[in-house]
Amino acid sequence: MKKENNTTHIQRLSKKLRIIFTLLMYLVPILTILFWVNYNNLPSFMEGFIDYVDMPASLPLNSRALALLGSAPLVAIEIMALNSLRQLFALYENGVYFQAENVKRVRILGKLSFFGVVADVIDKSVQTLAFTLNNPPGERIISIGLQMIISSC
């Protein structure tokens, strides 16, 4: 068995990651739309993926449409980040490592991370409103805040 050199290994791995990021670019918006369209009929195993404790069991169409609209900025930023990652790994796949284009892609990812936090605040705020939109007056809620998730290995 011939040992491959580091450059070949990086290029092969970069190709695989580029393909994964390309697939995710198309799957993220499709899955987001499918989630909100089928919210009332979600399979029980998906309950673990939902990050809200007080999510109602079912939502009328207007609430689901509002929640989908609220998640649009975050999904758009995720698509842009996945596209930037796809382009970065395409550069690696072509043997371009420490060039200006690589730096440009990493800077774009940094900016998108910041805007992603802002879009997440918008998303969570609109979702809390969507969950209570059909409640009687005085029982509707809108919540604006930052959430930090810290995980340990």
DSSP for 79-125, written as a single string: HHHHHHHHHHHHHHHTT--SSHHHHHHHHHHHHHHHHHHHHHHHHHH
Listed range (128-132, 139-143, 149-153) with the worst mean pLDDT = 149-153
Please give the pLDDT value at position 1. 45
126 token code pair: 């609109």
In a domain, 140, yes or no: no
Q: 34 falls in which pLDDT band (50, 70, 90)?
A: very high
Domain extent, residue 39, equals: 6-132
In whole angstroms, what is the distance from residue 120 CA to residue 73 CA?
8
User: What is the average pLDDT score of the chain?
Assistant: 87
Q: Which one, of 107, 121, 106, 37, lies nearest residue 71 by Cα?
A: 121
Please give the pLDDT value at position 145. 75
In a domain, 150, yes or no: no
Q: Which one, of 21, 1, 6, 3, lies nearest residue 88 by Cα?
A: 21
In a domain, 26, yes or no: yes
In whole angstroms, what is the distance from residue 90 CA to residue 71 CA?
28
Element (H, E) at 28: helix 6-37
In whole angstroms, what is the distance from residue 29 CA to residue 15 CA?
23
Domain count, the chain: 1
Please give the pLDDT value at position 4. 67
C-alpha 26, offset from chain centre = 11
In a domain, 146, yes or no: no
Q: What percent of the chain has pLDDT over 90?
A: 60
Q: Report pLDDT digits (tens) over 70-118.
A: 999 999 999 999 999 999 999 999 999 989 999 999 999 999 999 999 9
In a domain, 67, yes or no: yes
Element (H, E) at 34: helix 6-37
What is the average per-residue pLDDT within 52-78?
A: 88
